[in-house]
Amino acid sequence: MTFAPELLVEARGAVRLVTLNRPDVLNATNEALHDALVRVWRHLAEDPGARAVVLTGAGRAFSAGGDFEHFVELWEDRELRRKEIDGARRLLNEMVDFPLPVVAAVNGAAVGLGCNLAVCSDIVLIAESAFMADPHVGVGLTAADGGAPTWPLLMGMLKAKEYLLTSARIPATQAVALGLANRVVPDGELLDEALALAEKLAAQPPQAVQSTKRALNMHMKRAVAGVLEYALGEEFASFDTPEHQELVRTFLERSRARAAGAR
């Protein structure tokens, strides 16, 4: 099965290196990348030689989250929007149910869906220059695909409310302090350290690793089940609100003006 060019899967012994590969747009998720992210976990689970996974981004970002140009498509195409919302549900469930340990190597900005891809991994290493944020609310959307369901489990309810409702950036050291990441790593050492950690996990007894991960993730599955369904329904409705659409139009106009000025 191929996921290229949006998502690259490379074998490194018993480790699979999965790379979000839209570096020209900071690995923002369009329809193709989102679909690949949903499908890749089952593919890896069925790979008999795989024992651990490293998840990272190409270029200078982990993932900037949703592609704003793609948001515009979702305003009019409600069938596509429903597919995206269903895909968001599947993606979270696929990651929670995925049997192998996943090490996220957060090499740069991890925003929105990108942030939640990271924190749904099992161990999160974050580069010194990287940051996390869930700006759903700031662009007029319900923080459904990860933030609202999972962040209270990781950082506590009050902190989750503060960062989700304000869309504030979370620098690398603060991400560790809050419980969104395990440790900060120098930028130039991040991928090597993530691969070394994944190799260590891959060398552990597989049944013990996988059953322990499954037991731990039962806490998350029980906590997010009802919250996820409510939040995704509200996110679907968010795309129709005038405030969301005005915020996206303003962002796109500024982005296009900057691009025109740079030429």
**262, pLDDT greater than 80:** no
Mean pLDDT of 32-61: 97
Residue 261: pLDDT band with limits 50, 70, 90: confident
pTM (whole model) above 0.75: yes
Q: What is the average pLDDT score of the chain?
A: 95
pLDDT score of 1: 62
User: What integer is the mean pLDDT of 218-236?
Assistant: 91
Half-sphere exposure of 95 (CA within 13 A, CB side): 28
* 145 pLDDT above the threshold of 90: no
Residue 70 pLDDT greater than 90, yes or no: no
The contacts of residue 145 (CB under 8 Å, 6+ apart) are: 88, 91, 92, 113, 116, 231, 232, 235
Q: Tell me: pLDDT of 198 over 90.
A: yes
- Residue holding tokens 């839209």? 22
How far apart are the C-alpha atoms of 192 and 61, rounded to whole Å?
Answer: 17
Share of residues in the chain with pLDDT > 70 (%): 99
pLDDT category of residue 21 using cuts at 50, 70 and 90: very high
Residue 20 has pLDDT above 90, yes or no: yes
Residue 156: how many CB atoms within 10 A of its CB?
A: 13
Predicted confidence at residue 218, as pLDDT, reads: 95
Which residues have a Cβ under 8 Å from the Cβ of 140 and sit 6 or more positions away? Answer: 238, 241, 243, 244, 245, 246, 247, 248
Nearest CA among 151, 154, 134, 153 for reference residue 142: 134
Calculate mean pLDDT across residues 114-122. Answer: 96
Contact 176, 130 (CB under 8 A): no
**CA 232 → CA 87, 89, 123, 235, distances in Å?**
10, 8, 26, 5
Q: Please name the amino acid found at residue 4.
A: A
226 pLDDT tier (thresholds 50, 70, 90): confident
* Domains by residue range for the chain, with CATH: 7-191+198-258 (3.90.226.10)
Residue 263 has pLDDT above 70, yes or no: no
Q: How far apart are the first and last CA of the chain?
A: 39
* Structure letter (DSSP) for residue 182: S
Token pair of 72 as six digits? 């515009």
Q: How confident is the model at residue 2 (pLDDT cuts 50, 70, 90)?
A: confident
CA angle in degrees (0–180, nearest 5) for 131-137-138: 70
pLDDT-based confidence at residue 75 (cuts at 50, 70, 90):
very high
Q: Reply yes or no: is the peptide bond before residue 5 cis, omega within 30 of 0.
A: yes
Distance in angstroms (rounded) separating the CA atoms of residues 263 and 255: 13
pLDDT at 146 over 90: no
Residue 27 and residue 114 in contact, taking contact as beta carbons nearer than 8 Å: yes
What does residue 55 show for φ and ψ, rounded to 5 degrees?
-115, 125
Q: How far apart are CA 84 and CA 101, in angstroms?
A: 26
Residue 197 has pLDDT above 80, yes or no: yes
Q: Which residues pair with 8 in a beta bridge?
A: 19
